[in-house]
Amino acid sequence: MRLRLSRRSLFAFFAVLGPGFVTASAGNDVGGIATYSAAGAQFGYATLWSLLALTLSLIVVQEMAGRMGAVTGQGLAGLIRENFGLRITFVTMLALFFVNTGIAATEFAGIAAASELFGISRFIAIPASMAIVFLLVLRLPNKIVERVFVVFSLIYLTYVVSGVLAHPNWSEVARDAVVPRIVKNPAFLVTIVGLIGTTISPYMQFFLQSQVVDKGSRARDLPAIRADIIVGSVLAIALAGFMIVANGATIFQATLHGGHPIDINANPQAVDFARALEPLAGHFAEVIFALGILNAGLFTAAVLPLSTAYIVCEAFGLEASLDRRFREAPVFYSLFAGAILLAAGLVLLVPKESLFKLIIYAQVVQGVLLPLELVLMLVIVNRPRVMGSHVNTRTLNAIAWATAIVIGSLALVYVWQSLTGA
Amino acid sequence: MPFHEGFVSELVGRSAIVERGGSRDVVGRVADFVVEHPEDTFPRIDAVIVKTRHGELAAPIADVASFDDGGIVLTKAPTVVRPPDDEALYLIEDLFDKQIVDVDGRKVVRINDIEIARTAGALRVVAADIGVGGLLRRLGIAKIMPRVVDRVPRSLIAWDNVAPLRDLSPTQIRLSVSEKRLSRLHPTELAEILGDLSAQDAARVVGSLDDERAADALEHLEPDVQRSIIDDLGTARAADIIEEMDSDDAADLLGELPEDRQNELLAEMDAQTADDLRELVAYADDTAGGLMTTDYFWIYPHRTVTATIAKIREIAPETEFIYYLYVLDQSEKLLGVLSLRTLLLAEPNATIHSIMDEEVVSVRPDVSAEDVASTIARYDLLACPVTDDRGTMLGIVTVDDAIDAIIPERLTRKLPRLTKRGQQRRAETVG
């Protein structure tokens, strides 16, 4: 009986760390680490305020997805199909497939960068990690894999410790976290769009909603779903904040005092960002940085192509299950394998110096796609015939529309800037 | 030229032309088709919705003179305001892209297109297209590469098999093959379909089955999904179904629920079942106690073989596992065991006591799942009895449950479960 009780309370603890938590932490993948590191290294704490605004947006957007899943019992892809028809669904799925493949490519790029810190060529590391990813997904039980990655994710906590040990000027940190500040540098806009893209990724809404549906959650479970989303989002963004602080307090400060500046337009290397962990890890900074990147990269490189295949198949009503043989679910397996091959192939083709650049720009593309997805979500979540009494409130609509509009215009300005070279 | 057969997607968007005395006026475009009696086997199309400059208007099918490549030719301009959604079924608005349960393929798919044809003097809905062909047609790829599309195998569900799930709002019609055919499916297959439906729809399907079928299907589902279905069924119905489940599965399910909900459900069951379940719920999942079922066959040692066989005939339909007979005394102490084989080969007048095996291998309820499994493997058992310190019989762990427990994450259930639930495919009870 006592054993049972303790198992229960442990279960309750992990139940709180539900889909919302998992999804928000999934945002801290290779792209996340790279973007937050670059933001801190290049602009110090100047981007922190955007994280505060993003927390609210992330919570609102994720809550909408969670609510749609619980109320309709359907995934986002299915809802888009039912509400917007086949063509819009097709275009959305096409975009999602390529954006997600792009993100998967950043994961492989991260793996390549990390393995090169150990002196292993990426022409060995990438094929090896592809093999590992296929093996993980096709051969290993899911719970074990998940646990290993969750344990390894604790590596991120080194950023918290390292950030504190670097003795940042806390009053400066606090001011920059609350008071918006814009640095007059074209790269600043890129960084902000990238931060948005990596913190609220388009795939996260699909991912979260599927998990809520998968758990069989209902409208009455909404309070628990909301709590999970809020806790998960706040923790994940707090961690992101510490990555910026750690990089700001080390690399950016060093630059201020005559060190070598980091410019993301000038092909920074992974080894440059590892320095953010030096206050804690000293000579081991590179090793820890590489391990963190490897862990995040392998996990997301496995999960993302697989979930993309599930989502696309859901949208088109096609067979999608690892229980099936290839012949029974050819589209599903082809999408999964295709995404991994494309992603890994892309990384092998891109010259080594551009790997980190590829990572940052993949986040920017997400920032461009997100507003489009948000508009689809907002239309559905406001339809009484779909959501019943659980349509959006005015406040939620206001925040979500503001998010879509701000991100959309930032993305437009960014695209215009790149086209005109301004 | 009368229209014979085709797909709705091919007609939508074509011009609606009014032909009067030689002049052809385009009045709008075909937007949808209306069926007023969707409950008919092959329902008749009663009107065409035309999108005009004055909004969407309905043209009765009697006004349609012909379908041709240029569009639909009408004898007079449409004037009727379109009927409200809750009275009529709209082929595109209500059916396109909606989910349909394909019972033969045992999966949930979406309606990509609707086939209509002229039969019995009227234009009727004949099939739902659930294949890739329908997708390509609607994406316009069929027009660009007709040969490629022709080679895609057709995948249609005849409309006479299609019936809406009960008590659904017309705006969210999800269709299924009639409930009678659902209940003829193997429980594993039924569970597979339920796993693909939204929790709400799954609860609706389970609600339409009889208690026993519902219990069988439920046993094959994931705990999370079981819980949400049970929550939707209402306490009395849920209790009836849980009572029909194997006691170990029923206990696992109850263990997932909050305590007050457990008590509500147990209060609805008969006292004996409720007591058994209460005991089982108390054991941890991965121990012998958590794995065991109280559904086994037992007999007193002084009975004869003939009497025992008669008893088995009487009880067997209710009891899943009858291959081992456990011999108990008045205080339910486990004295011995015999196999069905031993029983059948023995003299009819022999007593159970004389033929039973007194060397019974048994485990305590707190033994780990791995240890139960290795005991079962070492002694080549189909089931292992669970007894307490005084030798009192508590239940049995069958070999299939033991296997499931040591391979809790089936190799078929991988990262991440996302949109499709990994079904718990258990081996059927041995035999």
| pLDDT tens-digit map of B234-274 | 889 999 999 999 888 898 889 888 888 899 999 999 888 89
Q: Return d(Cα A74, Cα A72) in angstroms, integer.
A: 5
Pick the closest to residue A94 from A80, A73, A82, A74 (CA basis).
Answer: A80
Q: In Å, how far are A9, A111, A145, A317 from A148, measured between CA atoms?
A: 21, 17, 5, 33
Write the CATH number for B202. 1.25.60.10
**Residue B157: beta bridge partners?**
B128
**Which residues in chain B are closer than 8 Å to A213, comparing Cβ atoms?**
198-199, 419
pLDDT at site B419: 31
Q: Which residue has the tokens 């996302």?
A: B418
CB atoms B420 and A321 under 8 Å: yes
Answer whether residue A382 is part of any domain. no
Contact A272, A41 (CB under 8 A): yes
SS3 A417: helix
Contact A60, A400 (CB under 8 A): yes
Pick the closest to residue A31 from A358, A253, A353 (CA basis).
Answer: A358
- Mean pLDDT check: name the lowest of A247-261, A309-323, B4-18: A247-261
Q: What is the pLDDT of residues A199-222, one digit of tens each?
A: 888 889 998 998 888 777 888 889
Write the CATH number for B359. 3.10.580.10
Answer whether residue B80 is part of any domain. yes
Contact B375, B381 (CB under 8 A): yes
Average pLDDT for A107-126: 88
Q: How many domains does chain A have?
A: 1
The amino acid present at B44, given as its one-letter code, is R
CA distance B47 to chain A (A): 22
Q: Are residues B111 and B49 in the same domain?
A: no
Q: Which domain holds residue A349?
A: 2-363
Pick the closest to residue A306 from A137, A78, A79, A145 (CA basis).
Answer: A137
Name the E strands within B165-295: 175-177
Pick the closest to residue B175 from B48, B13, B43 (CA basis).
Answer: B43
Contact A73, B198 (CB under 8 A): yes
Count of residues making up chain A: 422
Q: Are residues B82 and B130 in the same domain?
A: no
pLDDT at site A15: 47
**Which residues in chain A are closer than 8 Å to B420, comparing Cβ atoms?**
310, 314, 320-321
Q: Which domain holds residue B358?
A: 296-428
Q: In Å, how far are A127, A245, A271 from A41, measured between CA atoms?
A: 31, 9, 12
Answer whether residue B288 is part of any domain. no
Token pair belonging to B233: 């069924």
Q: Are residues B417 and B326 in the same domain?
A: yes
pTM: 0.79
CB atoms B414 and A217 under 8 Å: no
Instruction: Assess: ipTM above 0.85.
Output: no
Q: What is the pLDDT of residues B72-125, one digit of tens each?
A: 888 888 888 877 767 788 899 888 988 888 777 777 888 999 999 888 788 899
Q: Is residue A205 within a helix (H) or strand (E), and if so which, with residue range?
A: helix A202-214
Strands B99-102 and B175-177: parallel
Last residue of a domain, one of B134, B155, B175: B175
Answer whether residue A122 is part of any domain. yes
Contact A199, A33 (CB under 8 A): no
Q: Return d(Cα B376, Cα B384) in angstroms, integer.
A: 6
**Which residues in chain A are closer than 8 Å to B421, comparing Cβ atoms?**
214
Strands B162-164 and B175-177: antiparallel
Answer whether residue B127 is part of any domain. yes
Last residue of a domain, one of B175, B196, B226: B175
Pick the closest to residue B399 from B379, B414, B419 (CA basis).
Answer: B379
Quick check: B431 pLDDT over 60? no
Q: Are residues B184 and B217 in the same domain?
A: yes
Q: Are residues B121 and B203 in the same domain?
A: no
Q: How many domains does chain B have?
A: 4
Q: DSSP assignment of A21-66, as one string?
A: HHHHHHTSSHHHHHHHHHHHHHHTTTTHHHHHHHHHHHHHHHHHHH
Q: Return d(Cα B109, Cα B111) in angstroms, integer.
A: 7
A contact test, residue of B92, B278, B419 with most A CBs within 10 A: B419
CB atoms A73 and B415 under 8 Å: no
Q: Return d(Cα B196, Cα B110) in angstroms, integer.
A: 12
Write the CATH number for A138. 1.20.1740.10
The A residues from 261 to 300 touching B (CB cutoff 8 Å) are none
**Which residues in chain B are closer than 8 Å to A323, comparing Cβ atoms?**
412, 422-423, 425
**Which residues in chain A are closer than 8 Å to B224, comparing Cβ atoms?**
214-216
Token pair belonging to A191: 């960084």
Band (pLDDT 50/70/90 cuts) for residue B414 is very low
CB atoms A86 and B112 under 8 Å: yes
Pick the closest to residue B296 from B377, B230, B387 (CA basis).
Answer: B387
Q: What are the start-end ranges of the H helices in B327-416?
A: 340-345, 352-355, 369-378, 399-406
**Which residues in chain A are closer than 8 Å to B107, comparing Cβ atoms?**
319
Answer whether residue A207 is part of any domain. yes
Q: Are residues B315 and B335 in the same domain?
A: yes
Answer whether residue A377 is part of any domain. no
Pick the closest to residue A406 from A193, A194, A205 (CA basis).
Answer: A193
Query: To the nearest whole number, what is the mean pLDDT of chain B?
Result: 82
CB atoms B415 and A74 under 8 Å: no
Answer whether residue B256 is part of any domain. yes
CB-neighbour burial class of residue B149 (10 A; exposed 0-12, middle 13-18, buried 19+): middle
Contact B12, B32 (CB under 8 A): yes
Q: Return d(Cα A205, Cα A196) in angstroms, integer.
A: 14
**Residue B326: beta bridge partners?**
B298, B337
CA distance B429 to chain A (A): 21
pLDDT at site B20: 79
CB atoms A321 and B422 under 8 Å: yes
Average pLDDT for B149-177: 69
Q: Which residue has the higher pLDDT, A6 or A23?
A: A23
Q: What is the pLDDT of residues A67-76, one digit of tens each?
A: 999 998 889 9
